[in-house]
Amino acid sequence: MPKPLYQNPTRPPAERPTDLRLEDKLAQAAQLIHNAQALIIAAGAGMGVDSGLPDFRSNNGFWRTYPALAQSRLRFEEAATAGHFIQHPERAWGFYGHRLQKYRTVQPHAGFGLLKAWGEAAPGGYFVYTSNVDGQFQQAGFAAERIYECHGSLHGLQCSGDCEGKIWSAAGFVPDVDEAHCLLRNALPRCPGCGGIARPNVLMFDDGAWNSQRSDQQHERLTRWLETLGPKKNGTVVVVEVGAGRALPAVRAFSQRLQSQGAALIRINLNEANVQERRHIELALGAKEALERMQSYE
């Protein structure tokens, strides 16, 4: 016969203590979203982790995913440079080609759909601000004109020398990667203008050649939309910041700037939520779990 779940109905079982503070914060977060006039989703690499995409700073995720780069002791900051495409293009494309194929095939986790539904329900709508280059918000059905990708997108290509200032879709390029050695096996993609090596249209480290045109246009749309919300946000504009790290704080700086203008900030971050900032609602949970638990209060 199965054991009853609760021996004593007045007390939860000892092995599952109720985290009242966390439950309170989840309920508060859900309430804020329920009343939001407009929703801003500010996302870093931690947003994709529950879909199976690694971030590159937590728990050596980078070297675990790219053991060939670990063997040559190459760090993320060295692999993700514009110079890598000049000095060792097959290896640079081994790294970025593997990522591109992953980003093309991965299924965005359920938290994306929840954020989209909440954003669409807000009278003033939503905007996404992300440093991710994986195109997962578009994949999950978010409107392309409501997304700002501050570091560009891996789904776009440009010339390594940016000879004609053009950005084109990566759709025609299917990288064949030798994963064990992190090397591109098929032909390198080429610039149609000068025949030089094409590279992803993402901002890398030490990158003087990134073509920011597409990203700048997205930023203009974001700025115009923010202006429609007025200078004082009065807690009715809600920022949900998810998986944004502290090492490259572009996303955090944006959400904190909005907060200083009066927006409410909900921070979801598995390892770096706890900055003891009392004005934020900080949820030290994985993205999918946090968003699903917030939904259960709706």
Ligand X SMILES: NC(=O)c1ccc[n+]([C@@H]2O[C@H](COP(=O)([O-])OP(=O)(O)OC[C@H]3O[C@@H](n4cnc5c(N)ncnc54)[C@H](O)[C@@H]3O)[C@@H](O)[C@H]2O)c1
Residues that bind Zn ion in the complex, under the rule CB under 5 A:
159, 163, 191, 193-194, 196
DSSP state at residue 247 = S
Q: Is 132 in the site for ligand X (CB under 6 A)?
A: yes
Q: Give the residue closest to ligand X by C-beta.
A: 46
Angle at 85 between CA 81 and CA 88, to 5 degrees: 110
CA angle in degrees (0–180, nearest 5) for 12-292-154: 145
Say how far apart CA 240 and CA 273 lie, in whole Å: 13
Establish if 198 lies at the interface with ligand X (CB under 6 A). Answer: no
Interface with ligand X, residue 42, by CB under 6 A:
no
> From the list Zn ion, ligand X, none, which binds 132 (C-beta under 5 to 8 Å, kind-based)?
ligand X
Say which residues have a Cβ less than 8 Å from residue 11's Cβ, sequence separation at least 6. none
Strands (E), the chain: 38-43, 126-130, 147-149, 152-159, 167-169, 177-178, 183-184, 198-202, 237-242, 264-268, 281-283
Q: Which is nearer to ligand X, 191 or 240 (CB)?
A: 240
Cβ at position 248, least distance to ligand X in Å: 5
Candidate list 84, 98, 151, 280; residue touching ligand X; CB under 6 A? 151
Binding partner of 163, given ligand X, Zn ion, none, CB within 5-8 angstroms per partner class: Zn ion
Smallest distance from the beta carbon of 89 to Zn ion, in angstroms? 14
Between CA 1 and CA 267 the distance in angstroms is: 44
What is the 8-class DSSP label of residue 49? G
**In the complex, minimum distance from the CB of residue 203 to Zn ion, in angstroms, rounded to a whole number:** 18
Q: Which stretch binds ligand X (CB under 6 A): 13-21, 46-54, 171-179, 259-267?
A: 46-54
Nearest to 83 by CA among 35, 130, 74, 38: 74
**Residue 294 touching ligand X (CB under 6 A):** no
State the residues that interact with ligand X by CB under 6 A.
44-46, 48-50, 53, 55-58, 131-134, 151, 242-245, 247-248, 268-272, 286-287
